[in-house]
Chains A and B, each alone.
Chain A
């Protein structure tokens, strides 16, 4: 399951697949929601022709001035991709994607010289400012370094100098390939191999940019690092990679945000994120995903097919994923942890919203490979309108993982009577000293709760927002403050008008 495309969804492991439908009168009606980030930046772009061949890969690699090893790596991934078929086990439906009808590279023409924000196209600075991500030095977000990715390339990375003094590398992926080839070669594909699954192979072949971050031994990153992904060009896929390495004793908080214009056609976003934590290292990775979700009739929106995986390679290492998924027409995503170091810890905290016609099939994999490893999974799904939300998670305890512990809690909240919530947990245990717990609940916002709030003077919309936020609290607690506020606002916007 999960990120492995060649496997069928193993129904023999599935012990609970539930579909629950809610029916209430008042909560039924669904109106539109406003998407605040749906505008397009008018900027001249350097785009390549539609379609994908070996020549396309060569073209992308050349545009980025890559060394030959990088090109060879891409080519190998591409040739493998050709042998794969698109996975169909996820609980989502969409028309077939014509991979030859996509454009695999689009970059704003006035290409910035990296390192100097003064040379970034003012139109791009304005774009990110409008998104609430000011890149100019004087306006920097307090305490957060940002890598801004616009379509296929990184346009700016802030605070690089301060970070460099500590030996921290935080830059675009392209720059990393040029400036730190040894590090990239050592870790690229070490967690998500190029042949891992259909979308990971595609990404490995055509990825255009992304963020690279390296925290050396013993360094606690003095500020949060973040990447903001913006899709702008039409009919273009975004394929970016993020690679984060925390050496022995290092720690870092990483934040990721995403938006895209409103368009009637679907757009593909297939990213790969790899995290590596060595001995005693900690990586906290938070995502607030707000890609355009399509309109009220389900037209348009981003297909968010993403492979995210972290490797707790060292003893006492810890990787924590926190995600708030409010956007995208379809989300297919399972941030996972390979717990290879003794006493290592994997965590997954998720809120996934499916409103209107959104579909989400998301969850995690926790693979316990060493002694005393611990994992926690808290998944909260919210479905409204015709939204369809599936939690799919795998907990696997391998023979050497004595005393492994897992706690899983999957909650589903339903608003209205047209939406669906499903839970697909897979549990595989090969060590008798381990302890795996799974709890699941399905609830709906009840008429009683709404009436109670209204009787205290709180209007329907505010009451729903309050009840939903309360439901998500266990996840929001794990987000950095500003992100938690943002997530809470997004949730309110996503569910606006979800009751009649």
Chain B
């Protein structure tokens, strides 16, 4: 589904990603872990099409298309979803209105009829129940006045409504208390399916107690230095990221 080959990206002349290789198949959940500043969020933003980053080398194929050729909105319509680390506020626009507009853009691009307000509301209600979100969320302006936890839950609601093929969750666990973490994880787990893939970008492995990944990658200094099964998380927990750094400098 997603194939990243030797991806290099820089911002304002500083190279952040230094040759990423990563293959994600449908149905898989991958976790990308790494210390602060290793390039995890940059990878997420680059995949989503943020134009602050310059791609200097490499390729990314997503659902048999050259992802890097597409503007951000077309990547989204194709089925790539980024749950933001810092979700953005849009004052005066209700969640329901925003999500209906987004869903209809995606449906249009797949030649599906747009949903009217009634049909959409029905769908939204179902999804809010699925991810255990207060129905009053629908009428609140997008992320405005939301607590940190509410913003993250709202991202998961959007994920549930838009049903992307590939969901990238950027530090969705950061700033969540244990209850919120469980609710968010439950939401993500319910949305797992053989057609869909998920990339969890995270700093801590506590999220991985709730969402069990198939593969864990360790990103250090802009490159994936180790990949393994879920046992890798335990090793990281025990030894910290330093042991990998030490391995790297060792001859």
B182 to chain A, nearest CB (A): 26
User: Does A462 reach chain B (CB closer than 8 Å)?
Assistant: yes
> Is B84 among interface residues, defined by CB-CB distance under 8 A?
yes
Q: Could you mark each residue 438-475 of chain A with 1 if its beta carbon is under 8 Å from any beta carbon of chain B, else 0?
A: 00000000111101111111111010001101111110
A265 within 8 Å of B (CB atoms): no
Instruction: Report the separation of the CA atoms of residues A473 and B49 in the bound assembly, to the nearest whole angstrom.
Output: 30
What is the CB-to-nearest-CB distance from B10 to chain A, in angstroms, rounded to a whole number?
A: 17
Give chain B interface residues in 158-180, CB to chain A under 8 Å: 158, 162
Quick check: B109 and A457 within 8 Å, CB to CB?
Answer: yes
User: Could you tell me if B88 and A456 are in contact, using CB atoms closer than 8 angstroms?
Assistant: no
Q: Which one of B97-105, B120-128, B185-193, B238-246 is at the interface?
A: B97-105
Give a binary string over B78-105; 1 marks a CB under 8 Å from any A CB, 0 the rest: 0001101001111111000011011101
A467-B88 contact in complex given A451-B72, A456-B162, A457-B105, C-beta closer than 8 Å: no
Answer yes or no: A26 CB below 8 A from chain B CBs.
Answer: yes
Interchain CA distance A472-B91 in the complex, whole Å: 9
User: Do B98 and A449 have beta carbons less than 8 Å apart?
Assistant: no
Q: Quote the shortest CB–CB distance from A475 to chain B (angstroms).
A: 10
**What is the minimal beta-carbon distance from A478 to any residue of chain B, in angstroms?**
14
Evaluate contact between A473 and B73: CB separation under 8 angstroms.
no
Task: Kindly state the separation between the CA atoms of A248 and B82 in the bound complex, as whole angstroms.
Answer: 59
List, in ascending order, chain B residues with CB within 8 A of A471's CB.
91-92
B13 to chain A, nearest CB (A): 16
Known contacts A457-B76, A457-B102, A470-B141: A26-B90 contact under CB 8 Å: no
Given contacts A451-B50, A466-B98, A470-B93, contact A458 B88 (CB under 8 A): no
B106 on the A face (CB < 8 A): yes
* Interchain CA distance A462-B105 in the complex, whole Å: 10
**If the complex has contacts A451-B50, A457-B105, are A466 and B90 also in contact, measured as CB distance less than 8 A?**
yes
| Size class of the contact patch on chain B | 20 to 34
B244 CB to closest chain A CB (Å) equals 31
Find chain A residues with CB under 8 A from B48 CB: 451, 455
By the criterion CB–CB under 8 Å, are B101 and A462 in contact?
Answer: yes
Contacts of A454 in B (CB 8 A): 49, 71-73, 76
Residues of A within 8 A of B76 (CB): 454-457
Question: How far in angstroms is the closest Cβ of chain B from A487?
Answer: 14
Q: Which residues of A contact B106 (CB under 8 A)?
A: 457
Taking CB atoms, residues of chain A closer than 8 Å to B103 are 457
User: Which B residues are in CB contact (< 8 Å) with A470?
Assistant: 90-93, 141
Cβ distance B168 to chain A, nearest Cβ, rounded Å = 10
Q: How far is the CA of A62 from the CA of B90 in the complex (A)?
A: 57
Q: What are the residues of chain B within 8 A of A452 when measuring CB–CB?
A: 84, 87-88, 90
Indicate which residue in B73, B88, B89, B93 contacts A457 across the interface (CB closer than 8 Å): B73
A455/B82 in contact, CB under 8 A: yes
Nearest first, the 9 A-B pairs at minimum CB distance are: A470-B92, A473-B92, A470-B93, A456-B102, A457-B105, A452-B88, A454-B72, A457-B76, A454-B73
- What are 18 A-B pairs with beta-carbon distances under 8 A? A446-B88, A447-B52, A449-B88, A451-B48, A452-B90, A455-B73, A455-B84, A456-B102, A457-B109, A459-B105, A460-B73, A466-B101, A469-B92, A470-B90, A470-B91, A470-B93, A472-B92, A473-B92
